[in-house]
Copies of this chain bind each other. A is one copy, B any other.
Amino acid sequence: MRLIAFGDSLVAGAGDPDHLGWVGRAVAGRRAITLYNMGVRRETSADIATRWRAEALPRMADDEPMRIVFSFGANDCHPVGGAPRLGQAESLKNAQAMLSAAAVLCPVLLVGPPPMADPGVSARLEGLNENLKMLASRLKVPFIDVFQPLMADGLWRAEAIAWDGAHPGAGGYQRMADLVSAHPAWRSFTLAGEDSST
């Protein structure tokens, strides 16, 4: 199976000393899965919407099960000059466009954004997370909600504050990966990637 992950710096795993991020950690030990991590720092949903298709196509293989996972939101909610970089309506429009178009190519899954260290950004992000969840439900795209568990757990936020204010370390990424990989939606999403040869 080939798994393509589109998103922002949190998908890229920025700040992870092990260079895995939550995506790499969520497929740990699963050798039959080839991971293409297409997270890019600073990108909003609008930026990802612009490039995802051109980057997905050379990575698609006719003779292999394909999966596309998306995760974004933090940069949409990040304030520039007092206002968030994108309004919620625009974030949702971008999300709908990407999820609908990608679902034509292969099964897709949406992972909600993790909380941010900044309380104002995080409050906006919590609202976006709820709206993304409703959108995914409407589109019948599986959704994994990590916001509240990571907020309650605290390690993600503590590590982000200790580093650069935005990105956790190995511990925070591992907590998020644990939430994702234990979720039934992730398990069925990646089932065809089970390594049958070992």
Q: What copy number does this chain have within its complex?
A: 2
Residue of B nearest to A19 (CB): B24
**With A20-B20, A47-B58, A51-B58: A15-B31 Cβ-Cβ less than 8 Å:** yes
- Bound Cα distance A33, B18 (Å): 10
- A41 engages B61 (CB within 8 Å): yes
Contact indicator B34/A27 (Cβ below 8 Å): no
Closest to A42 in B: B61
Task: Give the nearest-CB partner of A48 in chain B.
Answer: B58
Q: A152 vs B31: C-alpha distance in the bound complex, in angstroms?
A: 25
Instruction: For A39, give the chain B residue with the smallest CB separation.
Output: B36
**Least Cβ distance of A11 to chain B in Å?**
11
Residues on B with C-beta less than 8 A from A61 are: 41-42
A41-58 CB contacts (< 8 Å) to partner B: 41-43, 47, 51, 54-55, 58
B-contacting residues, A156-198, CB 8 Å: 163, 169, 197
Task: List the interface of chain A (C-beta within 8 A of B).
Answer: 2, 9, 12-20, 24, 27-31, 33-37, 40-43, 47, 51, 54-55, 58-59, 61, 163, 169, 197
